[in-house]
Amino acid sequence: MVLGIIQSPPPHIVTSKPPNHYNLLLQHLNECNDMSQLKQIHALSLRSTSPNHPTTLFLYSRILHFSSLHDLNYAYRVFDQIDNRNSFMWNILIRACAQSQSVHRKREVILLYNTMLQRSSPFPDNHTFPFVLKACAYLFALIEGKQAHAHLLKLGFQSDIYINNSLIHFYASCGSLESAKNVFDKMPQRSLVSWNAMIDAFVLFGEFETALQFFVQFQQQFFEPDGYTMQSVINACAGLCALSLGMWTHAYLLRTGGVSVASDDVLVNNSLLDMYCKCGSLDFATQIFEGMQKHDITSWNSMILGFAMHGRGESALECFERMIRISRYVPNSITFVGVLSACNHRYMVNEGRKYFDMMINEYKIEPQLEHYGCLVDILARAGLIDEALELVSSMPMKPDVVIWRSLLDSCCKKNASVELSEKIARQILESGEGDSSGVYVLLSRVYASASRWNDVGLVRKLMTNNGILKEPGCSLIELDGVAHELFAGDTSHPQTKEIYQVLNVIEERLDSIGYKPDYSQAPMVDELNTSKRDTLRLHSERLAIALGLLNLKPGMPIRIFKNLRVCDDCHKVTGLISENFNVEIIVRDRVRFHHFKDGSCSCMDYW
């Protein structure tokens, strides 16, 4: 059966059958440029070659290979017509499906592999398994991948470096870091790809310190890192908020790879961009972005999200307009998360509504939970809590605990009715999702703001009875490349005595300018105001600020990373410290960055 309609013979193809006929067909295949020519060559092969000739199988494998790269449906038809398929032919089709962008094709990899096993001949070889494992990794098909792992062990491929690299990637993608590590540990020989896969796996699982430790071991084995290595290392630095280490990595790139690497490698630059944004250095991030020779959608998204989390809403929207108007990129779902976050952090209610509608109507992007969450937060934080609740009730999916908590937080900040706050808190607790301690703390603040101290006590008692502990505040500050972690009320730091002396100096100076603590921010303390004040002054970010004032040179900004959202009183105090001690303080809390300078914050007291 001829698969293609022959409209005209390909150039220089002869229909006679000279002794070197097969060589001519192979030559035509080497010169083939498109599927039209291939179909003509295939038709000629069917008419003029013998199925039993030893070269015919090789000829058909070449036809199969070309068609697998250009027309996978045609490749399947070629494959089905070959009787004596060898493992090379099976691998051609399996590889084509594994490398396809189609999820359906990736599922066909497992079907082809199972069919190959059922026929018992030929057996899968060492080239089969990397592509099977690649498809399993993409599909999160842990069971099927484990079965392939067992089979390759039976066939004696446990020492194959390429298969083991694929196994590391497969297990990491399917959430089994321990299995990936076991494969790595048992490898008799490792390549650059082996180390890259393992370092990337640790980063994927949030094991950033371990990833960097492996990078040190990697260097000790005299391997030279490539772009993929450095991308993972930079991402680990971003995860640790380790700016100095990230800057060292950037300098290492420039020193070993030259300026071309820094300007041409989009993936590495995107990682640098993300790292500088997450480490609080938006200026460096902007320099990286503007110095890039080319961008992709991830570059633009990272810059928009960076501006948004640093409170530069106008810059984020300008970047978005530049992306779609000048660079002609089509925004995706992540782009609009950044745009809506920018509106959220800058009190841009009308703009938030506008871009939400634009996403749906102009770009035909179906809103996900993250988009609804942003819009709900925009409305609620602007005091439009009823409208936010209407949006929640009209959502096509169930709201998660993050949305309910943002509503409760807005009720607390906007002095909404206690009854509404109680209703929302009950909704969160009944959902059983996430950490409930934060809900109790927010509800207690609502009661404290309403001077309902008996109810504050009841909340504390309820937490005690249910064994619920308030998540401790923890702040991280980096000094001379060393990360210092401080908890609220911490006394374990080697410089504890000096830290508390600085806190006393801060308190005296703030008292002299009329500072009054906001005791509603310490509702969980069942003591007099003196004890509440002591609790507030020992919040983790204040200890970190004191440590920074002790150790950093004048003019150096203090960068602090906190696990919880900064409270109103600490926000006020940090601004006063920046003004009275002439220091720039950058604080990243659970939600965003705050840049304090000369008594003002980049959030303009809206967070």
DSSP state letters, 91-132 = HHHHHHHHHSS-HHHHHHHHHHHHHHHHH-SSPP-TTHHHHH
pLDDT for 535 equals: 75
Q: d(Cα 462, Cα 467) in Å, to the nearest integer?
A: 9
pLDDT of residue 84: 85
Residue 321 has pLDDT above 50, yes or no: yes
**How far apart (Å, rounded) are the C-alpha atoms in residues 472 and 464?**
15
Query: For the CA atoms of the chain, what is the radius of gyration?
Result: 31
| pLDDT at residue 445 in the model | 80
Alpha helices, DSSP H only, in 241-332?
Answer: 243-264, 266-278, 282-291, 297-309, 313-325
List CB contacts of 181: < 8 A, sequence separation 6 or more. 198, 201
DSSP label at residue 207: -
pLDDT-based confidence at residue 533 (cuts at 50, 70, 90): low
| Least trusted range by pLDDT, from 126-140, 144-158, 522-536 | 522-536
How far, in Å, CA of 231 to CA of 479, rounded?
A: 24
Predicted confidence (pLDDT) per residue in 68-104, tens digit: 999 999 999 999 988 888 999 999 999 999 999 999 9
Q: Tell me how far apart the alpha carbons of residues 265 and 227 are, in angstroms, rounded to a whole number.
A: 8
How many residues does this entry show for the chain?
607
Which residues, at least 6 apart from 445, have a Cβ–Cβ distance to it below 8 Å?
Answer: 412, 520, 521, 523
For the residues 462-478, what does the mean pLDDT come to? 86
Comparing 64-78, 107-121, 444-458, 578-592, the range with the smallest average pLDDT is: 444-458
Comparing C-alpha atoms, which of 520, 523, 507, 565 is closest to residue 540?
565
Distance between CA atoms of 15 and 170, rounded to whole angstroms?
49
- Domain range summary for the chain, segments of one domain joined by +: 190-294, 475-601
What's the rounded Cα separation, in Å, for the pair 190 and 201?
16
Label residue 13 by pLDDT band (50, 70, 90): very low
Read off φ and ψ for residue 474, nearest 5 degrees.
-140, 130
- 302-311 pLDDT, tens digit each: 999 999 999 9
Over residues 543-561, the pLDDT tens digits come to 999 999 999 999 899 999 9
- Predicted pLDDT of residue 86: 92
- Which pLDDT tens digit goes with each residue over 223-240? 888 889 999 999 999 999
The pLDDT value recorded for residue 8 is: 43
pTM of the model: 0.83
Q: What is the 3-state secondary structure (H, E, C) of 172-205?
A: HHCCCHHHHHHHHHHCCCCCHHHHHHHHHHHHHC
Burial class (CB in 10 A: 0-12, 13-18, 19+), 58: middle
Angle at alpha carbon of residue 38, lines to 36 and 43, rounded to 5°: 100
Q: Find, among 250, 183, 247, 194, the residue nearest to 217 by Cα.
A: 194
Q: How far is CA 66 from the centre of its chain?
A: 36
CA distance linking residue 177 with residue 169, whole number of Å: 10
- Say whether pLDDT at 133 is over 50: yes
Is 436 within 8 Å of 443 (Cβ atoms)?
Answer: no
User: Given phi > 0 = left and psi -120 to 50 = alpha, else beta, which region is 26?
Assistant: alpha
The whole-number pLDDT of residue 11 equals: 45
Query: Is the pLDDT reported for residue 485 higher than 90?
Result: yes
Could you tell me if 384 and 349 are in contact, meaning their C-beta atoms sit under 8 angstroms apart? yes
Among 36-50, 164-178, 184-198, the minimum mean pLDDT is found in: 36-50
Q: Is the pLDDT of residue 258 over 90?
A: no
Q: Is the Cα dihedral 451, 452, 456, 459 positive or negative? A: negative
Is the per-residue pLDDT at 15 higher than 50? no
pLDDT confidence tier of residue 5, bands split at 50, 70 and 90 = very low
CA atoms within 13 A on the CB side of 585: 33
